[in-house]
Chain A
Amino acid sequence: MKEESLNFFPAHKLNKMLKNREISATDIAGTVNSAIQKVQEKLNVYIRLESEKMLEQAKQVDSYIGNGGEVKDFTGIPIAIKDNICTKGITTTCASKILENYVPVYDATVVKKLKDQHFVLTGKANMDEFAMGSSNENSYFGNVKNPWATARVPGGSSGGPAASVASGTAICALGSDTGGSIRQPAALCGIVGLKPTYGLVSRYGLVAFASSLDQIGPLTRDVEDSASLLNVVCGWDENDSTSINQAHPDYTRFLSGDMKNMKIGVPRELMVNEMDSEIKDSVTRALKLAQDMGAVVEETSLPSLEYALSVYYIIAPSEASSNLSRFDGVRYGYRNGTAETLRQMYKKSRAEGFGPEVKRRIMIGTYCLSAGYYDAYYEKAQRVRTLIIEDFRKAFEKYDVLISPTSPTTAFKIGEKVEDPLTMYLSDICTIPVNLAGLPAISIPCGLSSKDNLPMGLQVIGNILREDNVFRAASSLEKAIGFDKIPEELYKS
């Protein structure tokens, strides 16, 4: 292997090479760093780069390994962290002006776990402000461009993390997924993105958008990395009351690539007419491959999924309106300096600190929770959410996994949907129901569109804590589909 391509290797390969002393952590970091130097300006993947520290960290890892330190799965692996996950001493901005200079005094639990692995931090990846968006156009620090076509969006809200892996400027990344924020950009960038079961990964240190939906997960080059990165970051955390207190299996045990007799349901409601037909075709082709491998595929129906988008756009903004009220200019973050009264300070700081999409959602949420409207909106949405959960529960009595497209479209053009939030919201129509029900789901690439050579993604949904089935199906399909493309054009110009 040529050293130049190391930055497009999956972590598990690099890990073997590190263990065999074929390469050093410095080699990997060097390659990733030169990729960053080449494309960061073009793509705007990172809000904050840690280039010098990254090389320094890699050196330390090499001496740690040299001194007989154990090479764990992510030792010496350059990883990007979405900028809404707290990193002690390193700004965590949530892509917002209001937190432009905010430096956390503590590490998120997932960051601590990665530090225990002796990972190497590439930097804090760009995103939609407070994880609100599906195109990464809502960042105070400018939008991220899709590595496959720089006039197009990378998806969102984890646009930076997805683009970092897709562009070889990180080996893996951690993102957060509230309604599809890991899976949709993974699909649009041609990589693997996993949203674990709600409660499997600690949210401590993830700046909350919608607490009952948020979940941290890995964005990786392949399914094996996804499983092993999940192994590292998952587990009960005493600092997160919603984390599940239960031992977890080694998820890499489920990558045999065998899906014989697996029962697959294909929800009609997630194969809608408004979708790009080529995406539907690619998913259908993948389902055929599954049948060839001995899986049983059936169309099925989860009628209440029709309401998922409406339910989501009540519950998520409601929780957000409360979660984001702490950004008031009193203790940290942006404060307007000219305000003369307390109310003025609140109003001006927040008016100037938040971007338009965040304000829109705060207003929607505040409205939905208001006296007199609560029952009609929030309360009703919660009841419909229960129906959605119930539909999934019934489906999983019959099926091991459900399969759908991840996103109804491939990467769209920058600016195309900015003026039309409702169309933008449709981008998450296949991913949102999964968050409402707290289920695990993965997006894997299932081909490039013939029209514009853009990645398409397929989603595998499992029952609560059945990541085993998700990985089994995803690894089998990954092998059968054989997607091995990288955005080569990016480095040509």
Chain B
Amino acid sequence: MNQQKDTYKKMEGQDSSGSVKAGKYETVIGLETHVELFTTTKMFCGCKLSFGADPNTCTCPVCLGHPGTLPVINKKAIEFAIKIALALNCTINNYSIFHRKNYFYPDMPKNYQISQYDLPVSSKGYLDVDMGDYIRRVGITRVHLEEDTGKLIHTGVTGRISESAASIVDFNRAGTPLIEIVTEPDIKSPAEAKEYLISLRNLLLYLDVSDCSMEEGSLRCDANVSVRPAGTAGLGTKAEIKNMNSFKFLQKGLEYEVLRQVEILESGGKVIQQTRHYDHVTDTTKALRSKEEAHDYRYFPEPDLVPMQIGDSIIKEIKSAIPELPFEKTARFVSQFGISIYDCRFLVADKNMAEYFEKCCVLYGNAKTVVNWLMGDFSALLNKDDISINESKITPEKLTRMLEMIDNGRINSKIAKSVFEEMFATGTDPQKIIEGKGLEQISDEGMIESLVDKVINENPGTVEQFRSGKVKALGFLVGQVMAGTKGKANPKLVNEILLRKLR
């Protein structure tokens, strides 16, 4: 009993990465991520993809599963799949086929899903996940293509199936191209799982194949998680966790599940293989169905489609069209702009941010200054308004013009901050803001001198303190001079002149 309590304490004392620090257990996680591709049309018919369209308006006999209809593969979706697979360092399989996955559910028009099984479009790759002080290489088992289902809407206030009188189906989503990315059980902690998903999402955004919105369900992630005694090689019994629809919930759901499994083992129990549902309100996982109740999907090769033969020339062509990816970009930024890895990580984590940064660097020589502004004031305001940098009213041209004004001494950094805020709010050119508000820095030595004289005369006590060795008193005097110019005086000049007069 005592021992058990002890272990639990050690568990509580786990580090922020969520791994079982006590060293008694190791966590093993594999992730399955589904990504809706934003091709123009659906996976197997000509219907437009339709986020937000009126229910059942983007449908046809094929995606409604009418009798006699047949699927035709969307070539663009295959191209996207290959692109993703290549970016994940996968082997593209020259010969690949679709299978039918059979099960009954009302959101699935044919009561089978066209998916891939033992001959997927690609397999055996990896994604390097930057954990800050180490890199976790996560093996990618496979990347395959399939079709999405429709959406069930349960009538009633709560939207819960148990409390609704009826369920209605919207088939707009049915047939949307879906990529499934399956990892090896290489992920060692909930924190790594979260970082993996962040990296994967970022990669997909760079590839421009999906909007990757977890909120809207275009990026969905399920996890297989198990624990095992530290240092052992075999895998423990796993649970599949569903419904972790944000980065935060992924980590929290897994943290809960790891604890649950360790507790079971510690109390001498056995983990049952089952599918569990994460509830973010209670922050727990609940059993959905056990292995015995699991579906037998009766996979067999889809006879309505012919095998996909993907030639090397097509692979080459797609490969050459892949843009610079986050890892490559980081390396280049370090060498090209001489900024730190830490800075690069920040920039590269957002494709738009990285692009913005590069545009600024074409216009303006000091990369580090640009990064400081992007990481500091700019990010703060973007976060506050919850917008992306490419939605901001400040263009790289405006930002760099402002930076030049600071360098040229036309405005000081304090004024710059208010100019920046104004630019952010209105998009006005910094030159106009300065002119309109008379914010230009005062560097007229005669004017500053007469102000300094005035401040010295008005504050004999402070002057005396300074002269008797209280250096801090200088700050007050500078402040007085600055106040006299409403902050516009060149602070460097004020300092110089004050010191000269005080000696």
User: Which residues on A are within 8 Å of B, measured CB to CB?
Assistant: 84-86, 92, 94, 99, 102, 104-106, 108, 203-208, 210-212, 238-242, 318-319, 321-322, 325-328, 330-332, 342, 346, 366, 369-371, 374, 378
> Can you add 20 more A-B contacts, CB < 8 Å, to A208-B67, A242-B70, A328-B104?
A85-B68, A86-B68, A92-B67, A99-B67, A104-B61, A104-B67, A204-B69, A205-B68, A205-B69, A241-B70, A241-B73, A242-B305, A242-B306, A319-B300, A322-B100, A322-B298, A325-B111, A326-B67, A346-B104, A371-B298
> Judging by beta carbons under 8 Å apart, are A104 and B66 in contact?
yes
Residue of A nearest to B72 (CB): A241
Assembled-state Cα–Cα distance A370/B104 (Å): 15
Contacts A322-B298, A331-B109, A370-B296; is A207 near B67 (CB within 8 Å)? yes
Contacts A241-B306, A242-B306; is A326 near B65 (CB within 8 Å)? yes
Asked whether any CB of chain A lies closer than 8 Å to the CB of B110, the reply is yes
Residue of B nearest to A211 (CB): B303
Q: Which of A318, A369, A370 has the most B CB atoms < 10 Å from its CB?
A: A369
A41 CB to nearest chain B CB (Å): 29
Q: Which of B64, B70, B104, B111 has the most A CB atoms < 10 Å from its CB?
A: B70
Q: Which residues of B contact A203 (CB under 8 A)?
A: 68, 70
> Judging by beta carbons under 8 Å apart, are B68 and A108 in contact?
yes
The 4 closest A-B CB pairs, nearest first, are A325-B111, A211-B303, A369-B298, A212-B303
Q: Which of A108, A325, A369 has the most B CB atoms < 10 Å from its CB?
A: A325
A79 CB to nearest chain B CB (Å): 18
Assembled-state Cα–Cα distance A105/B64 (Å): 11
A339 CB to nearest chain B CB (Å): 13
Contacts A203-B70, A332-B66; is A374 near B300 (CB within 8 Å)? yes
Q: Point out the residue from A85, A204, A326 that lies within 8 Å of B111, measured CB to CB.
A: A326
Q: Which residues of B contact A321 (CB under 8 A)?
A: 102, 298
> Judging by beta carbons under 8 Å apart, are B68 and A206 in contact?
yes
Q: Which residues of B contact A84 (CB under 8 A)?
A: 68
Contacts A325-B112, A331-B64, A369-B298; is A241 near B71 (CB within 8 Å)? yes
Q: Point out the residue from B68, B298, B299, B300 that lies within 8 Å of A104, measured CB to CB.
A: B68
Contact mask for chain B residues 101-113; partner A; CB cutoff 8 A; 1 contact, 0 none: 0101010011110
> Judging by beta carbons under 8 Å apart, are A241 and B305 in contact?
yes
> Judging by beta carbons under 8 Å apart, are A211 and B67 in contact?
no
Q: Which residues of B contact A370 (CB under 8 A)?
A: 296, 298
Asked whether any CB of chain A lies closer than 8 Å to the CB of B15, the reply is no
A25 CB to nearest chain B CB (Å): 28
Contacts A241-B73, A328-B111; is A207 near B68 (CB within 8 Å)? yes
B61 CB to nearest chain A CB (Å): 5
Q: Which residues of B contact A205 (CB under 8 A)?
A: 68-69
**Chain B, interface residues (CB within 8 Å), range:** 20 to 34
B422 CB to nearest chain A CB (Å): 57
Q: Point out the residue from A99, A106, A325 that lies within 8 Å of B110, measured CB to CB.
A: A325
> Judging by beta carbons under 8 Å apart, are B296 and A330 in contact?
no
Assembled-state Cα–Cα distance A239/B304 (Å): 11
Residue of B nearest to A346 (CB): B104
Q: Point out the residue from B66, B110, B169, B303 that lies within 8 Å of A105, measured CB to CB.
A: B66
Q: Which residues of A contact B304 (CB under 8 A)?
A: 208, 211, 241-242
Q: Which residues of B contact A240 (CB under 8 A)?
A: 70, 72
Assembled-state Cα–Cα distance A374/B100 (Å): 14
Contact mask for chain B residues 267-286; partner A; CB cutoff 8 A; 1 contact, 0 none: 00000000000000000000
Q: Which residues of B contact A374 (CB under 8 A)?
A: 298-300
> Judging by beta carbons under 8 Å apart, are B71 and A331 in contact?
no
B307 CB to nearest chain A CB (Å): 10
Contacts A241-B70, A332-B66, A378-B300; is A322 near B102 (CB within 8 Å)? yes
Residue of B nearest to A205 (CB): B68
Residue of B nearest to A243 (CB): B70
Contact mask for chain B residues 168-195; partner A; CB cutoff 8 A; 1 contact, 0 none: 0100000000000000000000000000
> Judging by beta carbons under 8 Å apart, are B296 and A204 in contact?
no
Q: Which residues of B contact A326 (CB under 8 A)?
A: 65, 67, 109-111
A166 CB to nearest chain B CB (Å): 26
> Judging by beta carbons under 8 Å apart, are A369 and B109 in contact?
no
Contact mask for chain B residues 283-301; partner A; CB cutoff 8 A; 1 contact, 0 none: 0000000000000101110
Q: Which residues of A contact B71 (CB under 8 A)?
A: 241
Q: Which residues of B contact A332 (CB under 8 A)?
A: 66
A-B contact pairs, 5 of them (CB 8 A): A92-B67, A104-B67, A242-B305, A332-B66, A370-B296
Q: Point out the residue from B67, B298, B306 that lies within 8 Å of A366, measured CB to CB.
A: B298
Assembled-state Cα–Cα distance A371/B103 (Å): 13
Residue of A nearest to B103 (CB): A325
Assembled-state Cα–Cα distance A106/B68 (Å): 10
Assembled-state Cα–Cα distance A94/B64 (Å): 19
Assembled-state Cα–Cα distance A75/B31 (Å): 61
Q: Point out the residue from B67, B169, B305 that lies within 8 Å of A94, measured CB to CB.
A: B67
Q: Which residues of A contact B61 (CB under 8 A)?
A: 104-106
Q: Which residues of A contact B70 (CB under 8 A)?
A: 203-204, 239-242
Residue of B nearest to A92 (CB): B67
Q: Which residues of B contact A106 (CB under 8 A)?
A: 61, 66
Residue of B nearest to A378 (CB): B300
Assembled-state Cα–Cα distance A238/B67 (Å): 18
Residue of B nearest to A208 (CB): B68
Which residues in window 96-142 of B have CB below 8 A to A?
100, 102, 104, 106, 109-112
Q: Which residues of B contact A366 (CB under 8 A)?
A: 298
> Judging by beta carbons under 8 Å apart, are B100 and A331 in contact?
no
